[in-house]
Structure formats: structure tokens, C-alpha cells
A and B are shown apart, each in its own frame.
Chain A
Amino acid sequence: MAMSRFVYVTYIRATPEKLWRALIEPEFTRQYWVGTIQESEWKKGASWKMIAPDGRLTDSGEIIEIEPYKRLVFSWRNEFQPAVKAEGYSRCTYDLEETHGVVKLTVTHEMDIEDAQLIVGVSSGWPYILATLKSLLETGKAFEGSDKFPEGI
């Protein structure tokens, strides 16, 4: 088991297909994931990049496992904070499970080092990102400001 680990479960009224698209496609992520987009060919071994609205690379990694609408595993390294980047690669997993017209989404973000700063950072980030994503899919509107990259980062 990984030495630093964050797990978050949320239930979203959507189809697995819609939620999957919302997690990876720029037209969705721009609206709620603080304006960022992700670039990948979304197949095993492909590179993965997260890009800020100003074009900077914020995070990068590689697709480890992909089963559309069900499971995605990818490596994730921070690219804009030198001390966090030095920790190396974490591993992020999305598991989607449809139940009673609702999708149970489990996000597991883990790293094989103790007290990883990256995991501490994403532990406060994921609840907000997944809450505004849930609002976007269920009400058509993400939280105000969740389309903007934080200033000073």
C-alpha cells in the first residue's frame, strides 16, 4: 500500500459516459477545474499533461491503465513547484461505478513516499474540484470562479 494516500468518494447524477468526458475533455474541465485542460491520447502508455489557462504545464505523467467509462490510472508529477516536482510521480486512479442512476466516483491519489507534499496539496484540492464538477453535471453550473486559475501560482 502506498505511504501517502488520499481517497475521496462522491455520488454524481450523470451517466458514466458523461462523467468520464467531464473528467478529461477540455470543454468540461475549463468550466470547473480552475480553467485547466488536459492533453493526452488517452491510451495506455500515452503522455498526460495538465495545462493552465496561460499555457504553462502544471502537471505531467503517463496513462497506466484505461478502461473508458470505468477506470483510469495515470502517473502524475507536479511541474510548477520545484520541491513538489522533486518528489517524483504519484499515481491517480478514477473508478466509476453506476448504481441506481447515479455514478459512484472514487478518486484515489497515492504516492510511495511518506508525507508527500503532493498528496497533502491534492487532498485539499480534490474535494473542491469534485464538488464543482458535481454541481456542473447536476445543475448545469459550476461554482462561480472555478473556471479561473488561482492568482499568484
Chain B
Amino acid sequence: MSERDPDFVYVTYIGASREKVWAALTDRGVRPWWDDTVIDTTFKPGEPLTFRRRGKVDVRGVIKEIDPPNKLVHTFHIEGPGPMHDEGETQVTYELVQDGDATKLTVLHTGFVKDSKLRQAVSGGWPPILSALKTTLESGKALAYATWAERAKKSA
């Protein structure tokens, strides 16, 4: 058996240009499609990043790689205290590839410990976040978000 949990991968296709998907992913305002999460960072390699939700920091990380509008890599460490914080740092990679009129977006979340609670939480979190991003970019309307927040609480 492996000493780590498997990576989490989610692929979706969004009916928008890579530039639009990139702009949404790097938007520093309140993001209704991500349960009102705000990203604070300069988006420069080596610079810190935080996810803040309703005034509270959820996640801290560092920008590892940025290549607009193709690729963004940052570390991802849940703010403590708590068991998911104690699991340490993980990494998130976004890759955007044009596919006809759509953008193929791959989110790869790596570096989970064995029996990771964080992996369980983000496996429940990424699908509604990325579903809501797709809906927002295609129809201009966000999806309801309670499901994600509820799931995150349950697995915390």
C-alpha cells in the first residue's frame, strides 16, 4: 500500500475562453461561486496567498508557478488549529487548455497524507466549486452554495 492518499483530479469543460476562466480564477474580489471566498495574493512566484471567507482565513499558501492563462500552481495549507492543518501542506495546480470553443480546466490537488481528512473534504469541495464556476461563466448566475459549506463542516 502507498503511504499517501491518491491525488485528487477534477476535469471540467467551460464554455468560455481561457482568458475568462483565468480571470475568474485569479479574481481578487468576493467570489460567490466559491462560497464568497476572497483570494489575497499578488500572484507572483514566491509570494504568499490566503483564502479568506467571511473575514476569516481558511487557507494559506505560496504561489509556486504562474503562466497566464495556462497554469497556476500554489501550495495549500488549511489554517489551524485542527486535524486538517496538522496534515501539513498540499499543492493545487490549475491547467487550462483550449478545446474548441470551450476551455478544458484540470484541477490537480496533490500531497495528501495517508487517510487524509483534507482529501475527503476537498473531494467534496472541488466539484461544487468548479460546477458553480462553470455556471457563473456560462450563464452569469452563481449556483447555490450551501451544499459545499455543509460538507466542509461535516468533514472538518
Contact = CB atoms under 8 A, between A and B. Distances in A.
A35 to B, nearest CB: 15
Given A11-B128, A143-B100, A143-B101, A128 B13 contact: yes
Interface in A102-144: 102, 104, 124, 127-128, 131-132, 134-135, 138-139, 141, 143-144
B143 A143 contact: no
B131 A127 contact: no
B15 to A, nearest CB: 5
B102 A102 contact: no
Given A13-B143, A102-B144, A132-B13, A143 B102 contact: yes
> Interface residues of B: mostly helix, strand, loop or mixed?
mixed
A134 B134 contact: yes
Given A104-B147, A144-B101, A138 B13 contact: no
Contact of B147 (A12, A100, A124, A127): A100
A139 B134 CA distance: 11
Interface size class of A (residues with CB under 8 A): 20 to 34
B127 A138 contact: no
B9 to A, nearest CB: 9
A124 to B, nearest CB: 8
Interface string B112-132: 000000000000000110011
B146 interface: yes
Nearest to A140: B139
B138 A138 contact: yes
Contacts of A152: none
Minimum-distance CB pairs A-B, first 5: A100-B144, A131-B13, A11-B131, A9-B127, A127-B11
Interface of A: 8-13, 99-102, 104, 124, 127-128, 131-132, 134-135, 138-139, 141, 143-145
Given A131-B14, A132-B13, A145-B100, 19 more contacts: A8-B127, A10-B12, A10-B127, A11-B132, A11-B147, A13-B135, A99-B146, A100-B145, A101-B144, A102-B143, A124-B11, A127-B13, A128-B13, A131-B13, A134-B134, A139-B15, A139-B138, A139-B139, A143-B100
24 contacts: A10-B12, A11-B143, A11-B147, A13-B135, A13-B141, A13-B143, A99-B144, A100-B146, A102-B143, A102-B147, A104-B128, A124-B11, A128-B13, A131-B14, A131-B134, A132-B13, A134-B131, A134-B135, A135-B134, A138-B138, A139-B138, A139-B139, A144-B101, A145-B100
